[in-house]
Chains A and B, each alone.
Chain A
Amino acid sequence: MRLSDIMSAANLSAYAEVAMVLFLAAFVVILLAIFAPGRKRTYDAASRMPLDDEHPQTPR
C-alpha cells in the first residue's frame, strides 16, 4: 500500500477549509494583540529607529 492510497482513503476533502479557519483565527489573534491599548510608548520608540543611525532606541 502506498502513501497516496492511505491519503486518498483518509477523506481529507475538508483539509483546506480547516486550514483556512486556522489561519483566519491566528490572524484575528494577531489583530487583537496589535491593536490592544497601552503600547503606544513602545511602538513610538520602535518607529523612531530608522531616524537615528547612532543611538539605539530600544537598548538592553
Chain B
Amino acid sequence: MNARLDSFSYDDAIVRKFLWATMIWGIVGFLIGLIIAIQLPWPGFNLAPYLTFGRLRPLHTNAVIFAFAGNAFFTGAYYSTQRLLKTRMWSDALSKFHFWGWQAIIVAAAVTLPLGFTQSKEYAELEWPIDIAIAVVWVAFAVNYFVTLTKRRERHIYVAIWFYIASIITVALLHIFNNLSVPAGAFKSYSIYAGVQDAFMQWWYGHNAVAFFLTTPFLGLMYYFMPKAADRPVFSYRLSILHFWSLVFLYIWAGPHHLHYTALPDWASTLGMLFSVMLWMPSWGGMVNGLLTLRGAWHKVTEDPILKFFVVAVTAYGMSTFEGPMLSIKSVNALAHYTDWVIAHVHTGALGWNGFLTFGMVYWLAPRLFQTEIYSKKLVNLHFWLATFGILLYVVAIYSAGATQGLMWRAFDETGRLQYPDFVETVMRLIPMYWVRVVGGTLYITGASLAIYNLYKTWATRPATYEVPVVQAAPLDPVYVDDHAPEAGGFWARFTHMGWHRRWEGMPLFFSVMTAVAVIIASLFEIIPTFLIKSNVPTIASVKPYTPLELAGRNIYQREGCFNCHSQMIRPLTYETERYGDYSKPGESVYEHPFLWGSRRIGPDLAREGGKYPDLWHVRHMKNPREVTQKSIMPAYPHLETNLIDFPSIQRSVDAMAMIGVPYGDAVNNAPAMAKAQAEQLAASIEAAGGPKGLADKEIVALTAYLQRLGRDLKNASGGTP
C-alpha cells in the first residue's frame, strides 16, 4: 500500500465550454431541421440555391449528430472520466485543442455543406480537407484520453469508460476507412470504393456511426449520470458489463440491414439482419438496467424533472432498439425502407434518447459547474413537457406518413396494375402529416430555447471566481496483484473469478486493443468477401463509364444533394419493377464512385430515368418542377440554366476517376473538348425541340446528359437503341 497521497483538482472549465457548445449547436441543428421540415410541404421555402433541401438536410444531420450529440458526449465524458479515474485530464492543452478544433470543424461544415461541397455519403458528407481535420482532432482527443487512463488512481475502470473507449476507437476506424477518397480539387473527391463496395462501406460506417456515436457514448453517460441523479448505484453492474460486450460484438455486423433487397449480395444482408435481431436483447437489458436504477426512487421522478428526462430517454432507447431489429427483418424492411418510417425511427432515437439524456445531464451539471442554484425548476418542467409533446407529435405523424406511403407504393388494383401509378399522389397524401411534424419540431425547439435561457440565467448568478476543490488520493501501485485469487478449484474457478479480466482492465491500452480487435475482426469478416470475391459483383459488358459531360452532370447531382430525395436502386419486388423498371444489378454500379443509391424516396427512384422523358422535359422540370408536375414538392433550380459549366474541372474529375481504376480511355487527355462536343449536340436538340437557346455551356445540359444516361447501359445490353 502506498501511503503517499497526491493532491489534484478536476478540470471543469473544459466541461463548461463543451456544455455551452452542446446547447448552442443543438439549437442551430434543430432550427435547420425545422427549416427543412417546412420545405417539404411548402417547396417555396427553398429560398436560395444555397438553402435548398438537398443542401440543408446533410447540414441538419451533421449538426445534430456531430455538433449537438458530439459535444454532449464530450461534456459528459470530460466530467465523468476525471471523477471516475480520480485524476485530472492528462493535458489541458490537448483538451482545449480538442474543444476548439471540434468547433472549427463544425463551422467548416456549416459553410461548406450549403456551398454544395459534399462526398454524398450520409453522415460522411464533409469533404476531404475537413475529414483530415476531424481525424487529427479525434486523435488528439484519443491520446489525451488514453494517457489519462494510465494516470488514474482507481484500479477498476468503471463500465461507462469502457463505453467511451469503444466509441473513441471505433469512430476513428469508421471515419478513416469510409472516407478514403481521391481528391479532384480542394473541395471535391471521389470515394476509392465503387457501387456495391462503396454502399457496403458506407452503411458499415453509417450504422456504426449510430452505434458508436449516438449509442455507446450515451450509454456511458447513462451509466454515470443516472446513478448520480438518482443517488444510487446502477441496478446490476453485471448486466452493464454484458450490455457492453454484447454491443461491441454485435453492433458492428448490423450495417447491411440498410441495404436489404438492394444489389448487395444476399448472404451479407441476411447476416446483417440476424445480428440486428440479436441486438435487441442486450439493448433491452440495458434499458431495464437504466430504469431499475430508479428502484425505490420513483417518488423522486415525480418531483425531479432531471429524472423525468432520464426516464423518457431510456424509454426512447428501449423503443428505438426494439424497432431497429424489427426494421432490419427483411419483410418489414421491404415496407419501411425508402419511406418516412425510418425518419420517425431515427427521431425517436435522436430527440428522445440523445436529446433527453443530454438535457437531463445538462440540467444536472449546470448548478454544479456554475456553482449556484438552477434559475428556474419550473422552466425545466415546462421544457420537459413541451419537448415530450413535441416528440409525440413528430413521431406519430411521421410513422403514419411512412406507413401510408409504403402501403400506397405497393398497392395493386383488381386488374393487377399499380393503384397509385403517379408518384406524386403518394406524396400529396403526406402533406398534412408534414405540417404536424412542423408543429412538433417547433415545440421541441421552444423547449430547448427555454433551456438556453434558463442556463444563461443560472450562469449569471455564478460566483465571481469558481471554487476549485482539491482532491487527495493515493497513486496506483505499478503492478496489479490479485490478492484474493482462489487457490483451489482449477481452471474454471480461476476463469470465473475474472482475475484475468481485471488484469485487462488494469492495462487500459491492452483493453482498448482487445476492443479494437473485436471490432476489426467482425468488420473484416464482413468486408473482405464483398471486396475480394468476384462472384459477389458480376460484371456486365455493356456497362461503360460516364462520358465527361455526364460526369460533370453527376457532380452537379451530388452538389445539389439530389440523392437525399431520390434513390437509384430498384429492389427486386413486383411493385418496384412495375413502377420503375427492371431491378438494379450489382454490376451496374461498378463505376459509381461514390454510390448514389440513396436511402429515402421523397421523390421517385431514378435508376432507370434515362430516356423516360425528352431532354426538354428535364430542362423545364429543373427550372420549375411545378410547371411539369403540378403538385411536385421538389425545389426549383432555375440557376442551372444560367450557371456556366466549369469545363477545366471536368479534366480533374476524369483524372481522379481514372486514377481509381475507371477505364476512361481518350477522355484522360481531352475531357473538356469531349464534354463541349456532347454539350453542343444536346443543346442543339433541346433548341430544336422548342426549348431555350444557348444552353451549350450551361449546367442544365450536363445534368440532363447525366439523367438521360441513368439505366441506359442495361437497356443497350438487351438490344435497345443506344
Segment 30-60 of A: residues with Cβ below 8 Å from B: 30-39, 42-51, 53-60
A16 near B476 (CB under 8 angstroms)?
no
Q: A3-B532, A27-B249 are in contact. Are A50 and B155 (CB under 8 A)?
A: no
Chain A residues whose C-beta falls within 8 Å of the C-beta of B241 in the assembled complex: 34
Known: A8-B534, A33-B496. A57 touches B234 (CB 8 A): no
A56 and B474 in contact (CB under 8 A), knowing A12-B529, A16-B268, A50-B224? yes
Q: Which residues of B contact A8 (CB under 8 A)?
A: 532-535
The reply to whether B246 and A60 contact each other, CB–CB distance below 8 Å, is no
Residue A20 at the B interface, CB < 8 A? yes
User: Are A58 and B1 in touch, CB under 8 angstroms?
Assistant: no
Given A15-B525, A46-B156, A53-B83, CB of A27 within 8 Å of CB of B498: no
Q: Which of A20, A27, A33 contacts B246 (CB 8 A)?
A: A27
Complex Cα spacing A51 to B228, Å: 6
Whether A26 is near chain B, meaning CB under 8 Å from some CB there, is yes
- Residue interface bits B329-364, CB-to-A below 8 A is 1, else 0: 000000000000000000000000000000000000
Question: Is B497 a contact partner of A39 (Cβ separation < 8 A)?
Answer: yes
A44 and B237 within 8 A (CB): yes
On chain B, the residues within 8 Å of A16 by CB distance are: 267-268, 271, 525-526, 529
Give Cα A47–Cα B238 distance, bound, in whole angstroms.
9
Q: Separation in Å of the B166 CB from the closest CB of chain A?
A: 14
The main secondary structure of chain A at its interface with chain B is helix
Interface size class of A (residues with CB under 8 A): 35 or more
Count of interface residues, chain B, beta-carbon cutoff 8 Å: 61
Say yes or no: A35 contacts B529, CB within 8 Å: no
A7–B528 touching, CB < 8 Å: yes
Q: Which of B231, B268, B518, B535 contacts A51 (CB 8 A)?
A: B231
CB distance from A34 to the nearest CB of B (A): 5
- Decide if A56 touches B532 in the complex (CB within 8 Å): no
Q: Is the CB of B476 within 8 A of A60?
A: yes
Instruction: Determine how close the nearest CB of chain A comes to the CB of B513; give it in whole angstroms.
Output: 16
- Closest Cβ of chain B to A13, distance in Å, is 8
CA distance A32 to B227 in the complex (A): 26
Q: Are B496 and A32 in contact (CB under 8 A)?
A: yes
**Who on chain A is nearest to B293 by CB?**
A47
In whole angstroms, how far apart are the Cα atoms of A42 and B486 in the complex? 14
Q: Bound complex: CA of A13 vs CA of B271, how far in Å?
A: 13
B80 at the interface (CB under 8 A from A): yes
Complex contact B496–A38 (CB within 8 A): yes
A43 to B238, CA, bound (A): 7
- Check A30 against B158 for contact (C-beta < 8 Å): no
The CA of A32 and the CA of B497, in the complex, are separated in Å by 11
A39 touching B525, Cβ below 8 Å: no
Instruction: Find the A residue at minimum CB distance from B223.
Output: A50
- Taking CB atoms, residues of chain A closer than 8 Å to B223 are 50
1/0 per position for B247-291, CB-CB distance to A under 8 A?
001100100000000000001100100110000000000000000
B460: interface (CB < 8 Å): no
Query: B471 near A: Cβ within 8 Å?
Result: yes
> How far does the alpha carbon of A39 sit from the alpha carbon of B160 in the complex, in Å?
19
Docked Cα-Cα span, A30 to B495, in Å, equals: 11
8 Å CB contact of B227 from A33, A51, A55: A51
Q: Is B133 an interface residue (CB 8 A)?
A: no
Given contacts A27-B246, A30-B249, A33-B501, 10 further A-B contacts (CB under 8 A): A4-B533, A8-B534, A19-B526, A20-B275, A23-B253, A35-B242, A39-B498, A42-B498, A49-B84, A53-B83
B residues with a Cβ closer than 8 A to A are 1-2, 10, 80, 83-84, 86, 153-156, 158-160, 223-224, 227-228, 231-234, 237-238, 241-242, 245-246, 249-250, 253, 267-268, 271, 274-275, 471-474, 476-477, 480, 495-498, 501-502, 518, 521-522, 525-526, 528-529, 531-535
